[in-house]
Each structure stands twice: as structure tokens, then as C-alpha cells.
Amino acid sequence: MDEVVDALRAEKRVLITCHVKPDGDALGCLIALHRAMQQLGADSVMYLADTEAIAPEFSWLGGLGEAIIGSPPDDAAARTLVTVDCGSAERIGNEVLVEKAPRTINIDHHADNTRFGDINLVMGASSSTAEILYSILNKLGVEITTEIGEALYTGILVDSGRFQYSSASAQTFRVAAELISGGVDHAAIFHHVYETVPLAKTRLLCRLLTNMTIACDGKLAIGVIGRNDFELAGAGNGLTEGLVDNLRAIEGVQVAALIYARPAGALEPGQKNRNEPLYRVSLRSSSETLDVQRIAKAKSGGGHRQAAGFTAAGETPEQIIAYLTESVSGIICQD
Ligand code: AMP
Ligand code: MN
Ligand code: MN
């Protein structure tokens, strides 16, 4: 941590980025660190490789949209790359950046982080990268403005499962308490993130629950959202965040999976041509003892023990369901 703090204090030009399909932790850290570096007098640029829309529950975050760039700056080779909440160079969505950067600082909480940076601060037991970043910013003497506080609180809130996952530690609650003491309006953030669900997203949820597959004696729940579901629900691509949690919440379910189509667009890693079917898979487990990261890793994905994901190119939902049923039946608890 001290090495990262010293390095950031000395930085004059940084390029900050996070993982593709950014969630509240990734976006919150992106904004918080950007503002912090500006406070320290550095020239800071935020970059996001993802061309998909930012999930609407995070679009209210101050500092978003205004300054995030979708292609690397011309002077990327002269900027220290700082990645937040990003488990590997590939997850940036533009691996070349790490090669180009004179140096990379990697701040993350994914236990499977590949340590692709020159300095790697990986704290696998932390609820969120935002929780780690809060300590870093304090050590840097950065003033936690409302904008920074809200961004960090959002990251902690979503990644700790609203403070309910086992990764939510006493330290997580302490950081949240300090942010709230500093003026963060937690009720307003809760409302923004969880109670402004677009109707189209609710319709998408309705479709996936209606058609879900229950396997392994009720211990595995799988939902599929195809392109036609997006169309019939009138939903765009940013509307899948959090839907998988509804499957894990079902009584008796130990592993939940959401398989959802990606639009035909830029060629993705592993995809032979643009028309090849492409699905993202979100995996969740109900306990620390059920490691879904391994199931994702076997398909070149990754994540955490209880929340992981992978992308499947050229496979039908039925094939993915077969893979999941087989691998999950090997890890679920037999009682
Ligand atoms: P998601 O299901 O997209 O919310 O992701 C759950 C967790 O798995 C997050 O920590 C992600 O960073 C991680 N993850 C999702 N997809 C991938 C992937 N293709 N490769 C590595 N990690 C992933
Ligand atoms: Mn994340
Ligand atoms: Mn995270």
C-alpha cells in the first residue's frame, strides 16, 4: 500500500482505467481516483474501452460522461497507467495499453488478479476496490469531497451486496460510516442504484424468471436472455446488471447463472466472426465454499469465489447450460 501511495504522490500524468462492462465498484474507483489525482495536481485522464452503455443505475455518478474517453490518448506512452478493479490486462479491453505504458499500477481486490502491473496492490479479502482506494486516498491526504465520497460509497455498496456478503467486514462498515460522517447521502445513493429500475429491465427480469432452468435438484438456477428477449422487453444492453441475484435468492439455490446475449458489434476475443453467437455468463454462489471462479476460469473467465463470469463465443445457450450443469453438479453440497 505504501509503495502505491508513494508512487501516486509522485505521478504527474496518469491514465486511469477499469474493467470492461464496468460495475459500480469499477466506475466509482475510476472517478474517485481521477478526482484525487487532480487534487494532487496531476494531469489525469479516464479511459474506458467498453463501447456499451454505462448501466443506468450508475450514470448519475458525478464526473461520469463529462471526461471519460473511449480511445486511448495520443500520449498514452507518456502516462503511468493506473488500473482499478481490473483482474487482468485483458479485462481492460485493450491489452496494448499495459505494453505501451511506461509503468502500470494495479489496484484491485480480485484474488485471481494476474499481477500484470509494475506495482500490484491486490487485497483479495476486501469487499471492494473502493474500500482499498479509500485507505490510499486517506494516506495521500486527499480531501474526500462529496463526489469522491459518493463514488467510493457506491463501489462499496454494490460489491458488498449492500453490506450483506461475507466480504463485508468490520472495516467495510467503518469506511462506510466515515464516508457517511463526511456527508455522503447513503439513502439517496440507495435510491439511485436500486430504486430507479427501468421498466424495460423489470420486463427483462420477468422474461428470464419465466423461462429459467432449474437443475441439480433445485440447487442450480440458470436464466437466459437472448437477443429477442432484449427486443421484446424494449431493453438495451446495459440493463443486465444485478439480474442474476434474483436467481441466487431462490430458496435452495446454491449456484445461479445468467447467460445473456451480446449484440453483434466489434469482434470479441475468441469470436471467429461477428455473426458467431456470443454470450456473457454471470455466475454467483450462495457460500464461500462453492467456488464459481473455477468454473469461469475453465472458460477463460475469472472473478471471485462467489461472483465470477466468462464470455462464450460460438456456443448456444443449451451448450452453455450443459457445461454449467455438469460443472456445478461437481461442486454443490450434497445434503
Ligand atoms: P459480473 O457477473 O459481470 O457482474 O462479474 C462478476 C465478477 O466476475 C466480477 O468481479 C468481474 O470482474 C468478474 N468477471 C466477469 N466476467 C469476467 C471475465 N470474462 N473474465 C474475468 N473476470 C470476469
Ligand atoms: Mn468490478
Ligand atoms: Mn470490485
Amino acid 270 reads G
DSSP symbol at 306: S
pLDDT at 170: 98
At 136-153, the pLDDT tens digits run 999 999 999 999 999 999
Distance CA 236, CA 200 (A): 8
CB of 82 closer than 8 Å to CB of 8: yes
CB of 309 closer than 8 Å to CB of 303: yes
Q: If you take atom 14 of ligand 1, which residue's CA is the nearest one? A: 309
- Is pLDDT of 11 > 80? yes
Give the mean pLDDT of 97-111. Answer: 96
pLDDT at 266: 62
More confident call, 243 vs 53: 243
Distance CA 87, CA 108 (A): 7
Beta carbon of 304 within 6 Å of any ligand 1 atom: yes
Distance CA 230, CA 234 (A): 6
Classify 72 as helix, strand or coil: coil
Amino acid 275 reads N
More confident call, 265 vs 257: 257
Beta carbon of 28 within 6 Å of any ligand 1 atom: no
Give the mean pLDDT of 54-67. Answer: 83
At 301-316, the pLDDT tens digits run 999 999 999 999 999 9
Which residue is associated with the grid cell 463529462?
A: 66
Amino acid 279 reads Y
pLDDT at 215: 97
Band of pLDDT at residue 335, cut at 50, 70 and 90: low
- 3-state SS, 106-137, equals EEECCCCCCCCCCEEEECCCCCCHHHHHHHHH
Beta carbon of 301 within 6 Å of any ligand 1 atom: yes
Q: If you take atom 2 of ligand 1, which residue's CA is the nearest one? A: 282
Ligand nearest to the CA of 303: 1
Give the mean pLDDT of 291-307. Answer: 95
CA of 209 to the centre of ligand 2 (A): 25
- Is pLDDT of 47 > 90? yes
Distance CA 265, CA 123 (A): 34
Give the mean pLDDT of 23-30. Answer: 97
Band of pLDDT at residue 66, cut at 50, 70 and 90: low
Closest CA to 257 of 322, 201, 162, 202: 322
The x, y and z cell numbers of residue 334, run together, are 450434497
- For the chain, the average pLDDT equals 93
| Choice from 17, 19, 167 to test ligand 1 binding pocket (greatest atom count within 8 A of CB) | 19
Give the mean pLDDT of 192-202. Answer: 96
- Is pLDDT of 19 > 80? yes
- Is pLDDT of 332 > 90? no
Catalogue all structural domains in the chain, each as residue range(s) with its CATH number: 2-194 (3.90.1640.10), 199-332 (3.10.310.30)
CA of 18 to the centre of ligand 1 (A): 12
What residues flank ion ligand 2 with Cβ within 5 A?
23, 25-26, 85
Distance CA 47, CA 50 (A): 9
Band of pLDDT at residue 274, cut at 50, 70 and 90: confident
